[in-house]
Chain A
Amino acid sequence: MRDRKTAHIPLIANGKTPLERAVAAKLIGDMNLLRLKASARFLARGLAPDIYWWDLLQEAFARVLNGSRRCPPDVPIDVFMTGVMRSIRAEHWRRRWQLEVSKFLSGDELRDPAPDPERAVVAQQELEAIKDLFADDPIVTHIITGLADGLSADEIRTKYGLSSTEYDSARKRMRRALLRDGIGSKVK
């Protein structure tokens, strides 16, 4: 078995990154690129300075190109790639905290660590940072709170007294703001 430092090297053969290879193979077009850039930037929130959005995007394409992730034929490529990035983010999040607790725990304690209050605080801060993106839009803030609470669209509408039109318009504003935030010119 190749070690992890060399396992991906064929994916950057000829100087091309996994993303460039996917574009060259016409797996994705320009609009896909913009959606995936926006998804990657959203999902990379809170991961800097270790990980940047392009790390998520490149790694997701690497895993598709090396065959470890396969897109089902009935799933749109953007939805699938976003799911892969989300899972890579979750892996990294777990690994990062495992690395932290490994400095203090060992053996069984490390395999099943108790809930970490600091990790919970960081997650809460991230959630608040997402809500802050929509601080001037109370309906969107309600929707995000409802999603965090695990409510369905109907439950969110009922809880906050929103009509279908208000709910759908707020979702559209939310999508557009997330796209703006993700496509904008900031590097990190």
Chain B
Amino acid sequence: MKKPTPEMRLERVLATLSEEIATASDTEVLEACADLRIQPQMKGSVAFMGVKGAVFPYRFWVLPESDTAPLTDPDDDAPDLTPRRQ
């Protein structure tokens, strides 16, 4: 049998463990929050940092869809956000 490459091994672990997280029960999520002494029920809870309230930005240029995206460095493709001179 062909030995799996490190990338295949990593992909298997990422697939299984990310699915473990996705299928965790609400009780398990709340238990994990309790371990961290975080109360997600409170308004502005740190548990939601980045996903609710102050949501982290959508940088649409960093993960382009592969079928249309040319091969470029993500940094080269960032929009020009420098102020324009009048």
Contacts and interface: CB of A to CB of B under 8 A. Distances in A.
Contacts of A90: 11
A95 B12 contact: no
A55 B9 contact: no
B66 A175 contact: no
Given A43-B18, A85-B18, A123-B5, A50 B47 contact: no
Contacts, number: 199
A75 to B, nearest CB: 10
Main secondary structure, interface of A, reads helix
A18 B78 CA distance: 18
B56 A58 contact: yes
Interface of A: 1, 4-5, 7-9, 11-12, 17-20, 23, 30-31, 33-39, 42-43, 50-59, 62-63, 68, 76, 78-79, 81-82, 85-86, 88-92, 94-95, 98-99, 102, 115, 119-121, 123-124, 126-127, 130, 144, 147-150, 171-172, 174-176, 178-180, 182-185, 187
A62 B40 contact: no
A55 B22 contact: no
Interface string B15-49: 11111111110101101110110101000001111
Q: How large is the interface on B (under 10, 10 to 19, 20 to 34, 35 or more residues)?
A: 35 or more
Interface of B: 4-7, 9-24, 26, 28-29, 31-33, 35-36, 38, 40, 46-52, 55-66, 68-69, 71-75, 77, 79
A123 B71 CA distance: 22
A12 B61 CA distance: 13
B32 A176 contact: yes
A149 B9 contact: yes
B34 to A, nearest CB: 10
Contact of B21 (A119, A120, A147, A178): A178
Given A39-B22, A149-B4, A178-B20, A183 B73 contact: no
Q: Sort A-B residue pairs by CB-CB distance and give the 5 closest, nearest first.
A: A179-B32, A54-B56, A8-B60, A148-B9, A123-B6
B9 A182 contact: no
A68 B65 contact: yes
A39 B58 contact: no
A33 B12 contact: no
Contact of B62 (A20, A42, A51): A51
A88 B63 contact: yes
Contacts of A39: 18, 21-22
B69 to A, nearest CB: 6
Contact of A56 (B15, B38, B57, B63): B63
